[in-house]
């Protein structure tokens, strides 16, 4: 029973971050769509993924170093 609760909780977190990423990408595309180049808004929108990965990596190392202390 605890395993099913843990996997349901993990799935909830994954789905909520998917919603956040999709919303962020959409907002970034809408804000940058005022340019005449068609490819630029999509490149800017997809920049949310590496930025999020960078933030997650930094956060991981910060929390790991605090755990050791």
Instruction: Count other Cβ atoms within 10 Å, centred on residue 28.
Output: 19
Q: Model confidence over 2-27: pLDDT tens digits?
A: 889 999 999 999 999 899 989 999 99
Residues 63 and 47: their CA atoms lie apart, in Å, by 25
Per-residue confidence band for 34, with pLDDT thresholds at 50, 70 and 90: confident
pLDDT for the residue 55: 93
For range 26-54, the mean pLDDT: 87
Confidence check: pLDDT of 59 > 80: yes
Question: What number of H helices and E strands is found in the chain?
Answer: 3, 0
């Amino acid at each position: 029973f605890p395993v099913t609760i843990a996997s349901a909780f993990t799935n909830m977190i994954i789905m909520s971050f998917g919603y956040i990423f999709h919303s962020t990408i959409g907002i970034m595309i809408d804000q940058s769509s005022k340019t005449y180049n068609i490819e630029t808004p999509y490149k800017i929108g997809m920049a949310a993924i590496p930025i999020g990965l960078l933030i997650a990596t930094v956060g991981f190392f910060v929390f790991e170093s605090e755990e050791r202390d």
